[in-house]
Chain A
């Protein structure tokens, strides 16, 4: 494999992993915008969804129903988490809420350990096709599924925001929580919806990436953390930013691991996060570019929720 092929390989695996980071970041950003809470337990939903799918499959359930059921299980657990732990403390301080989500994460990780133990579970790829060679790089077919998931999920999400009444209510709450409440949007129901949505999206992301990595009880921890890094990279409150941030993080990581060392794999993401927080805490979406025509600095990517607006 030539140097060029290798770079294309890095790029492809970066985009694949980056799509997963982007989906998790998306789940985080939507929840954060609606509830003001960073759900530090997000990674555990990746784990629970994936391992449930593995178990359902080995119990004889066909692929697609197993995946749907696993995502629903994650949704139910997310709903339980919101009602039992987040809703009663919704007026508490931010530190309290952060510790609550960490407590839930610890409990869920313990539960995963109790049910599935420490050994890794393989999840076979969705289709049994040979890898595709492209410009000296190798594409595993599963990577295409991951990319497809990311594209479909993002399109569906934006369609939901734009075309449905519930989506418009969510957008209103994301823009201004108090004003949304004044026009009769129920924040408690939206908070529940946000947690269920993010739990299900995280589970889906895990199920799609598991054939490439493997499924273990602690797989979600680092994925969740990198979702955070992606969200921060994208400016925390910005839906589009989360997607760009996820892809960017995946690509940076793939190149850094390929060209430097694999030992610092998790360190690289953290370094990216700290650098972004220190230099440009609003993320890449806060970057400004100089517009020659108007002679002024403009925000590079405008913050907007949804695709079309009126």
Chain B
């Protein structure tokens, strides 16, 4: 059992390591980097949604907060890039810690709208605090990530950084979900009252999941800032937050590989539509390919609401029972 599992891991690592050897195009590499970055965010969101049973439509705010923190530390305080990436996730995590307890008291539609409102508020703040963030024109002059004499200024090396970090994140999530904390999360998802009566501090656990998801989003944000070396507000808007939720759901909630698959599907689909739709309808401009995007989401939700990797019954905020788990939290 253990050896089969480790063989499977080694095969996966080999695939990830070998991909850049065969992929020559920078375009494909940059898509793979984006998938990696989003997968880091969606791992956190997947933990929040699939295990703790909460939802956040404001993850792009934490992503942006991480990116801006890293960018400002690097350009205005001249901190070394690696330190910036390591420090950046702590600000979004802190914000999540502050807003988490009151926000997570809310349920269902209220939670959706509160997190969505937070995301829009943060987006407005990115646009408006011009002295700090550069407003709509953004922050330029961010250096490349460098470790000693090694400067990571090409997509190939950055691919390894992002997917390396993603690997560590997956390892951490795998350990977490297998631990008593992970089982307590699942208990909250199944029934919050039952978990509470079993002595689990549900409020604290939900807060921890929320802070962890914000931390991961901030981590991806910091990595993003040093990859494109420019940070503007546009990638951190409302649409991005929605896409993260879709990635988590499409991949399958409560699964380890769902977030990676979901990110790959959504990013791949967006790129495919951007490339394919103008060939079919060459005359019209604009980003109207989102029309197909929307239709595909609706179809996925109608046909397979539990996502691709999750087995059996749909899971979501409805609290579908997770039978065999007992918690000692």
A residues lining the B interface (CB < 8 Å): 38, 85, 88-89, 92-96, 98-100, 102-111, 113-114, 117-118, 225, 228-229, 232, 236, 261, 263-264, 266-267, 270-271, 273-274, 277-278, 281
* B114-139 with Cβ < 8 A to chain A: 114, 116-118, 120-121, 124-125, 127-128
> Which B residues are CB-close (under 8 A) to A118?
286
CA distance A264 to B135 in the complex (A): 12
CB distance from A96 to the nearest CB of B (A): 4
A111 touching B291, Cβ below 8 Å = yes
A194 to B297, CA, bound (A): 23
The reply to whether A94 and B317 contact each other, CB–CB distance below 8 Å, is yes
Q: Give the segment of B105-113, B196-204, B259-267 that binds chain A.
A: B105-113
Chain B residue nearest to A265 (CB atoms) is B124
B residues less than 8 Å from A278 (CB atoms): 102-103, 114
Given A95-B249, A95-B316, A270-B120, does the pair A89, B103 have CB atoms closer than 8 Å? no
- On whether the beta carbons of B108 and A94 are closer than 8 Å, the reply is yes
Complex alpha-carbon distance, A96 and B300, angstroms: 10
Query: Whole-angstrom distance from the CB of B265 to the nearest CB of chain A?
Result: 14
In the assembled complex, which residues on chain B have CB atoms less than 8 Å from the CB atom of A264? 124, 128
A106 close to B297 (CB less than 8 A): yes
State A30–B295 Cα separation when bound (angstroms): 26
Q: How far is the CA of A273 from the CA of B114 in the complex (A)?
A: 7
**Minimum CB–CB distance for B97 against chain A, Å:** 15
Residues in A with CB closer than 8 Å to B103 are 277-278
Instruction: Report which B residues bind A (CB closer than 8 A).
Output: 49, 55, 102-103, 106, 108-110, 112-114, 116-118, 120-121, 124-125, 127-128, 242, 245-246, 249, 284-298, 301-302, 305, 314-318, 320
- Decide: B287 and A113 in contact? CB cutoff 8 A: yes
Report yes or no: A225 in contact with B120, Cβ–Cβ below 8 A: yes
Q: Which residues of A contact B120 (CB under 8 A)?
A: 225, 266-267, 270
Within 8 Å CB of A266, what residues of B? 120, 124
Chain B residues, Cβ within 8 Å of A106: 242, 290-291, 293-294, 297
**Taking the nearest CB of chain A, how far is it from the CB of B117, in angstroms?**
4
Task: Report yes or no: A270 in contact with B108, Cβ–Cβ below 8 A.
Answer: no
B118 proximity list for chain A (CB < 8 A): 270, 274
- The answer to whether A263 and B288 have CB atoms under 8 Å apart is no
Q: In this complex, which of A228, A229, A263, A270 has the most chain B Cβ atoms within 10 angstroms of its Cβ?
A: A270
Tell me if B285 and A96 are in contact (CB < 8 A).
no
Minimum CB–CB distance for B112 against chain A, Å:
6
B301 and A114 within 8 A (CB): no
Which of A107, A109, A236, A261 is in CB contact (< 8 Å) with B295? A107
The 5 closest A-B pairs by CB, nearest first: A107-B294, A110-B291, A106-B294, A93-B316, A103-B297
A99 touches B249 (CB 8 A): yes
Q: Known interface pairs A99-B246, A100-B298. Does A110 touch B317 (Cβ–Cβ under 8 Å)?
A: no
Instruction: Name the contact of B291 in the complex, choosing from A92, A107, A117, A271 (C-beta under 8 A).
Output: A107
Q: Quote the shortest CB–CB distance from B300 to chain A (angstroms).
A: 8
Q: Assess the B316–A110 pair: CB atoms within 8 A.
A: no
With a CB–CB cut-off of 8 A, which chain A residues contact B301?
89, 92, 96, 99-100, 103
A89 to B301 alpha-carbon distance, docked (Å): 8
Interface majority SS on B: helix, strand, loop or mixed?
Answer: helix
Contact of A92 among B106, B296, B305 (CB under 8 A): B305
Select one of A110, A229, A267, A271 contacting B293, CB under 8 A.
Answer: A110
Q: How far apart sit A100 and B293, CA to CA, in the bound complex (Å)?
A: 12
Contact in complex: A263, B128 (CB < 8 Å): yes
A110 touches B117 (CB 8 A): no
Q: A274, B314: Cβ atoms under 8 Å?
A: no
Given the contacts A114-B288, A270-B118, A281 and B318 also touching, CB distance less than 8 Å: no
For the complex, give the distance between the alpha carbons of A240 and B171 in Å. Answer: 52
> Which residue, of A228, A229, A273, A274, has the highest number of chain B Cβ atoms within 10 A?
A274
Q: List 15 A-B contacts (CB under 8 A).
A: A88-B302, A89-B302, A92-B301, A93-B318, A94-B318, A95-B249, A98-B109, A103-B295, A106-B290, A110-B293, A232-B113, A263-B124, A263-B127, A263-B128, A267-B121
In the complex the two chains form, what is the Cα distance from A229 to B127 in whole Å? 21
- With A93-B305, A266-B120, A278-B103 known as contacts, the answer to whether A107 contacts B314 (CB < 8 A) is no
Q: Are the CB atoms of B290 and A109 closer together than 8 Å?
A: yes
What's the minimum C-beta distance from A17 to chain B, rounded to whole angstroms? 18
Q: Chain B residues near A98 (CB, 8 Å)? A: 109, 112
Q: How far is the CB of A105 from chain B (nearest CB, A)?
A: 7
Residues of B near A105 (CB, < 8 A) are 294
Contact (Cβ within 8 A) A281 B305? no
Partner of B317, one of A89, A93, A228, A271: A93
Q: A177 to chain B: closest CB distance in Å?
A: 16
Given A110-B289, A273-B113, A93 and B314 contact (CB-CB distance below 8 Å) = yes
> A266 to B123, alpha carbons, bound, how many Å?
10
Q: Are A96 and B106 in contact (CB under 8 A)?
A: no
Check A270/B117 contact, CB under 8 A, given A98-B109, A99-B245.
yes
